[in-house]
Structure 1
Amino acid sequence: QGVVDPLGGINTLWPLFGIGNQMLASMALILGTVVLFKMKKQRYAWVTILPTVWLFITSMTAGWQKIFHEKPSIGFLAQANKFRKGLDEGVIIAPAKSVADMQTIVFSNQINAALCAFFMLVAVTMLISAFFVIRRALRSDLPTTHESVVTLRNKEVRHV
């Protein structure tokens, strides 16, 4: 998509990469938090919870703005609407050089908005799922997971 985008690939891929990367980091921290609770080591959970809260809030805010911001230079849908309006009025808006370029920009921005919304949905789903798993782990008196025994060069190493 970025290769054929008249606005240039960096304008298409960089925002999605940045938002997706931060959401992935927050999901990894959520997973780490869940593991700590399942291992009954919740006293250490603050180490993962604090950065998770920051990353989750900032990446969700960035995703929301990238989808719905009213400035075409920020929001995917605003930019799609700007170029759609140009198409409706028969005006070619730079950097597009043709009607086909304009249609590509509209379609690319709509796809980008859908991808960003999908990333956000996956992250929120994981957060909600983690909440229920943590709640279940807190109800249990025993750890619900543990580290596995690892054999290295014929020596047994137990991680506790």
Structure 2
Amino acid sequence: MLAAVALTLATVVLFRMKRQRYAWVTILPASWLVLCTVTASLMKLFASDPRVGFLAHASRFADAASRGEVLAPAKSLAEMQRIVMNDRIDAALCALFLAVVVSIVAYGVRTCLAARRIDAPSVSELPATVEAAA
């Protein structure tokens, strides 16, 4: 995920520097990493197999706890509730990180398209200033 974000930002820099012809070097691996990240996130969120999906695992343990049944590795109903809460927190964090990746990619694409419409490089830095000692 971090590499996908970094490569997306590197692609934006290349477009803003008017070096689009080199952007394929970052676009190809970024596309692959975004595809893998989004696929894995969706699987972790919505897979019906409790061994894969956070929500399916939480449902399995919540249903067993409501019946008064204790599933391994939990040793008590309190641990069962903790597992359910942890799975739901994991699912929420997974959804949050998925939203972050998707939004960074969307804003990156928007910025690249905007940079293509401008003729001059849109990357600028302020010159260093030296303050005079008083």
Q: TM-score, normalised by structure 1?
A: 0.77
- Separation in 2, partners of 1:25, 1:147: 25
- Separation in 2, partners of 1:29, 1:131: 12
Match of 1:111 among 89, 108, 112: 89
Structure 1 segments of 4 or more deviating over 3 A? 146-150
Q: Kindly provide the amino acid, as one letter, of the partner of residue 98 in structure 2.
A: M
- Separation in 2, partners of 1:115, 1:62: 13
Do the aligned residues in 2 keep the contact of 1:39 with 1:146 (CA within 8 Å)? no
Partner of 1:93: 71
Partner of 1:83: 61
- Separation in 1, partners of 2:126, 2:60: 55
Report the CA distance between 1:115 and its aligned residue.
0.1
The structure whose RCO (Cα within 8 Å, separation 6+) is larger is 2
Q: TM-score, normalised by structure 2?
A: 0.92
For 1:15-94, list aligned pairs within 5 A.
23-94=1-72
- Separation in 2, partners of 1:148, 1:54: 35
- Separation in 1, partners of 2:74, 2:49: 18
Q: Which string of whole-angstrom CA distances, capped at 9 and with x for unpartnered residues, describes residues 23-54 of structure 1?
A: 11100000000000000000000000000010
- Over the aligned positions, Cα root-mean-square deviation in angstroms equals 1.3
SS at match of 1:74: coil
Report the CA distance between 1:67 and its aligned residue.
1.1
- Separation in 1, partners of 2:74, 2:22: 53
Give ranges in structure 2 of 5+ residues lacking alignment.
129-134
Whichever structure has more strand as a proportion of its residues is 1
